[in-house]
Amino acid sequence: MRVLVVEDEQRLADAIARGLRAEGMAVDVAYDGDAGHEKSSLTRYDVVVLDRDLPGMPGDELLTELTSGDRLTRVLILTASAGLDDRVAGLSLGADDYLSKPFSFVELVARVRALGRRATPAAPPVLRHGDLELDPGRRTVHRAGDPVELTRKEFGVLEVLLSAAGSVVSSEQLLERVWDENADPFTTTVRVTVMTLRRKLGEPSVVETVVGSGYRIPVDAPA
């Protein structure tokens, strides 16, 4: 899941980002409305955690942009304004959820995950390919009934490839969906992660390299 945190309190923004990354999400951070606008214009985020009180572009203006047209991005308003009128105003502008400061981080994670599920096309609760099974909710992977221990990045790559249902996923798309803006697109990060993922999943290999295009798990590949 790709998340953007737009929050002008830098320490809070960084703490939220660290916590969400620890939960396996790819997180970018913007400390004002202008930076949030720029990042959201260049990258499709599943969820944006947005403070309404921002320097630069006002939070409400950015919110209107994020929710315009047929965008699938979901927006969680995060603000110190806890009054009913403030909540109604934010939701009427298109926000999907509202969380007042101070907040429980556990609750924030739960709400972000719930919004993330709404931001992407419906997928089966458990993703399967032959004898390979990935459960996004429990964050578990099994092959032929045996558990497979994966890092967060390996799990994310496998989830994206299984969700693609046989379509080719480029290295750039994997960087966008699994890592964040701090990932260097010129490194061998994706190739190395796919290599270790293949090794952990064992034989026969399920991840196919499409030369010059990316990777896929063919629908009709042998299990």
Answer yes or no: do 141 and 115 share one domain: no
Residue 223 pLDDT more than 50? Answer: no
User: In the predicted model, is pLDDT for residue 186 greater than 70?
Assistant: no
Is residue 135 a contact partner of residue 126, using CB atoms and an 8 Å limit? yes
Closest CA to 193 of 177, 109, 39: 177
pTM strictly above 0.75: no
Measured between alpha carbons, how far is 223 from 211 in angstroms, rounded to an integer?
Answer: 22
Same domain, 18 and 88: yes
DSSP-based three-state secondary structure for 217:
coil
Owning domain of residue 54:
2-119
pLDDT in tens, 56-75: 999 889 998 888 766 778 99
Domain boundary among 119, 140, 167: 119
Q: 91: domain CATH number? A: 3.40.50.2300
- Asked if the model's pLDDT at residue 82 lies above 70, the reply is no
Question: In the chain, how many domains are there?
Answer: 2
